[in-house]
Amino acid sequence: MGKVLIDSDQCRRTVARIAHEIVEHHPDTSAVALVGLHTRGVPLAERLRALIEEFSGEPPAIGSVDIALYRDDVGVGGGRRGVVPVVGETILDFDIASHAVVLVDDVLYTGRTIRAAIDAVFDYGRPPKVELAVLVDRGHRELPIRPDYVGRNLPTNRGERVAVHLAEIDGRDEVLLEGGS
């Protein structure tokens, strides 16, 4: 067990604050699409949608993206059977050209996942704008990517693990810091 950085009550308030900020930036929330990144970005996007609908009356569009096919670190020297990355489902069935896309993920780290997600979205269409919402920004970027909505900035060492647990997947909400020195 690691150290609890965010408990379930704080998690609820943090997600609500992000929802408020998205509404503040986008007066017309029907022109926004929340796109969750597999795995834990997907339930986070669902929660944000419900909150935004509650705050503004207009539900944003929703989608999900799996970046397995867009990664930059697979396939070096051939696979060992059984350890290949599983390809999840990408569902973007709103009109991309008319929605500001807000990518939603649990942890922002190197930025490579986000780069892959942007590439994936652009293979489906040309959104007028792409933004990024994350529950935790742990630093150590390797690409020029910055979030528009951040739940919590958590400076970490590279050797540490930030484990996000969400009720929909893990049974309860909490963010843990594990390992490291």
Interface contacts to another protein, rule CB under 8 A: 40, 66-90, 105-114, 116, 119, 123-125, 136, 138, 140, 156, 158-164, 179
- For another protein, the closer of residues 57 and 97 by Cβ is 97
- For another protein, the closer of residues 77 and 144 by Cβ is 77
What are the strands of the beta sheet with 100-108, ordered from one edge?
A: 61-65, 32-37, 100-108, 130-137, 149-153
Least distance CB 78 / another protein (angstroms): 4
Least distance CB 33 / another protein (angstroms): 16
Pairing of strands 160-165, 174-179: antiparallel
- For another protein, the closer of residues 148 and 160 by Cβ is 160
Return all residues near 42 (Cβ < 8 A) that are at least 6 apart: 36, 64
Instruction: Give Cα separations from 154 to 32, 105, 180 (angstroms).
Output: 27, 15, 14
Least distance CB 100 / another protein (angstroms): 20
- For another protein, the closer of residues 109 and 149 by Cβ is 109
Among 50, 154, 48, which residue's Cα sits nearest to residue 103?
48
